[in-house]
Amino acid sequence: MTRIEQLLPELERLTGVRLRVWRFDGRALRRLAGPYPGPWTPPVDGDRLTGRTLQAPEGPAWFEPVREAEGVWLEVGERPGGAGSGGAATAGQDPATLATVIGAVLAAERETAQVAAELSERYEEIDLIYTISEILGHTIRLDEAARRILTEVSNVVRARRATLLVHDEERNVLRIAAARGMDPAEAVPIEIDDPGSVAARAFREMRIISYDPSLPAPAGADTADSSERRDYRGRAFLSVPVLYAAPGRPARPIGVINLTDRLGPDAFTAGDRKLVAAIANQIGAAIENARLVARDLGQQRVRRELELAHDLQLKLLPSPAVLGTLADIAVRCLPAESVGGDFYNLLRMHGDRVGVMLGDVSTHGFSAALIMALVMAASGIHAESAETPTAVLGRLEESLADELTETEMFLSLFYAVIDPARERLVYANAGHPHAFTVDGRSGTADRLGSTRPPLGLGVAGGANGERAWRRHGDVLCLFTDGLVDAQSEAGERYGEERILGHVRNLRRRPTREILEAIFTDLAAFTGGAPASDDRTLLLLKA
């Protein structure tokens, strides 16, 4: 039952009138809610009622347009057995006011449906990202990795026929590593320079190539692969290059995913394109990881796998450019090992607000990196859907409950939302000890204390912290204990005060200059000795 159907009986009880809601479907008015009037429908001329007061089966009724919902009308009449014959006017009710109430409920239902659909799509993306992360962490054979990846991707975009082609560098051809809806043995390798192959062209040009038969083809477009020579139903196709970027090197193509024969409408949506493109690098990393393991089971394999994991983890961390001109931000995250448990996230939110998150998983290595990846994937969705920072941390803890329990890990996490226009900072701190604001005028450093225990300790709740924020002056300073606990050759700790001293003294300079000053001083203090813990520092002005 819809909210409008639940609301009408209560409105009738309060007003003493009969209510029905009608929607114009292009030809006639159809009952949307309210008591069934039998075969009678109000007469219409186009999309307008021929009269404002009509004779309904139960008696005279007044028809009022619901202005918040195009083509929707509210019928207001006397309830059976009521006195008088003047409909709503006799009952002393205001049809316009009642129509406004109905319009507000319909608008709320529409907005709720849109939000639910968007969240559903995003959760589907998170599930896919999480699955591919598991494949990356546990699969060592190329054929197994390719088969699992192809199955997951084709299920999400609802393609019944799919192939994953991998570049054979020795022969310079694309070979099928996995297939769905066809026998891989029937396929022949594709030459990279084949001018008639869409897959080869997507590989060479490193761009998505697609065809939608429901749309007119652009002038000069090549749609040969969508011809009637195909022996299967679908004609639309989506060909996406699979890329991999080694640390410090530009991306290079290592394969192609081809998708076609879609369930439902024979066309891939813009969302399908966006999703497959967004995970192409992860797919490439998983394929490359499996290749490396298969190529060398010795020390070289382990070293390359660690490099790959390090590269993947750094790619998950957002660039400060995501906030555009909203903030001056500098951040650096240095894992002590190939992968680590430190992470941060930057969120551009409605109303030009800025979301800033920094966390530290209790251990290092691949288990910590997996928890970090899951937090990064889920934090954006929860930040948009939850109303407060405390609610965001609560939902993150629910999402990670199984993983934290199985790995016996926990994480400290700080999350703040800065509203420069209102000059307010609202935050939640799950046991992260190193979170400060530095006053832009006085240089005073104030600790943003814990508002709840770390995630994974089984104790939820907590409350938001809130304080004033001076626009373009105050500095948010977040760091992890890898900086604080760094030691000199004499065993002296670097400490919080050295970090805050640099921020205090340089608070009027760009955040990048402050960050470089701190890391330069840290290198001199430690003598360049390797870090024993992850080191992350984030500075922000907004």
For residue 83, how many C-alpha atoms fall within 13 Å in the half-sphere facing its CB?
Answer: 2
Q: For 37-68, how does the pLDDT look when each residue is reduced to its tens digit (9 = 90+)? A: 888 888 876 566 765 688 888 888 888 888 88
Q: For 244-258, how does the pLDDT look when each residue is reduced to its tens digit (9 = 90+)? A: 887 788 889 999 999
Question: What rounded mean pLDDT belongs to the chain?
Answer: 82
Between the ranges 52-61, 172-181, 359-368, where is the mean pLDDT highest?
A: 172-181
Please give the residue that has the higher pLDDT: either 481 or 112. Answer: 481
Percent of the chain with pLDDT over 90: 34
Q: Residue 281 and residue 478: Cα distance in Å, rounded?
A: 29
CB of 165 closer than 8 Å to CB of 175? yes
Please give the residue that has the higher pLDDT: either 379 or 143. Answer: 379
Task: Give whole-number Cα distances, 60 to 53, 63, 85, in Å.
Answer: 7, 10, 6
Domains of the chain: 3-110 (3.30.450), 139-218+231-303 (3.30.450.40), 318-541 (3.60.40.10)
> Torsion over CA of 325, 329, 334 and 340, rounded to 10 degrees?
-70
Ranking 80-89, 270-279, 281-290 by mean pLDDT, the lowest is 80-89
Whether 433 has a pLDDT exceeding 80, the answer reads yes
Task: Give whole-number Cα distances, 169 to 101, 176, 198, 285, 291, in Å.
Answer: 66, 14, 19, 17, 12
Q: For 186-215, how does the pLDDT look when each residue is reduced to its tens digit (9 = 90+)? A: 888 999 999 989 999 999 999 999 888 776
